[in-house]
Amino acid sequence: MNIIIKTATIDNLKNIQELNLKLFKKEFEEYDSLLNVNWTFGEFGTKYYQDKIINDNCCVLVAVVDDNIIGYLCGGITKGEEYRNLPIVAELENIFVLNDFRSKGIGTKLYNKFIEWCKIKKVGKLKVEASVKNKLAIEFYRKNNFKDYTLILEADL
């Protein structure tokens, strides 16, 4: 299987949104019933991905197999907390690979290409957020050198 990782173009917008919708549905069903699965193709979701694709401080990558986009990664430079002395900070905002292509190293290839982009941008710290229930994602991030830093707790009122 020949896997090509490349920078997304605006022509890839619909494919990325379709993959993001699958990610949202999975997250909604398994981890977070508060997710708005209509966001992806709504006004804000469409603008979010359009902006990410065209902004120089953002990185959207697609994984292609046989001319089909089977995964994507979206991230970019973000503001660090004002109260911390941080270098340039980037956030891996979302990553998704279709079920049939998981456990084949595609997520790692996307991640490694993102790291290359981060190094070009002189990023000094990378962050990611994951549902505490998403054990596979957390395992993937820890395997790729992420360490626990902040724990966000929520309470229903």
The full DSSP string for 25-64 is: HHHHHHT-TT--TTTTTSHHHHHHHHHHHH-TTEEEEEEE
Higher local confidence (pLDDT), 86 or 50: 50
pLDDT digits (tens, 9 = 90+) for 22-39: 999 999 999 999 999 999
pLDDT at 73 over 90: yes
pLDDT at 112 over 80: yes
pLDDT at 13 over 90: yes
pLDDT at 11 over 90: yes
Q: Please, which contacts does 48-54 make with residues 24 or more away whose CB atoms are closer than 8 Å?
A: 49/13, 49/16, 49/17, 49/20, 49/74, 50/10, 50/13, 52/76, 52/93, 53/8, 53/9, 53/10, 53/12, 53/13, 53/16, 54/10
Q: How confident is the model at residue 69 (pLDDT cuts 50, 70, 90)?
A: very high
Q: What is the pLDDT of residue 153?
A: 83
Q: What is the pLDDT of residue 80?
A: 76
* Structural domains of the chain, ranges and CATH numbers in brackets: 3-143 (3.40.630.30)
Q: What is the pLDDT of residue 62?
A: 98
Q: Report percent pLDDT > 90 for the chain.
A: 84
Higher local confidence (pLDDT), 151 or 76: 76
pLDDT digits (tens, 9 = 90+) for 133-156: 999 999 999 999 999 988 888 888
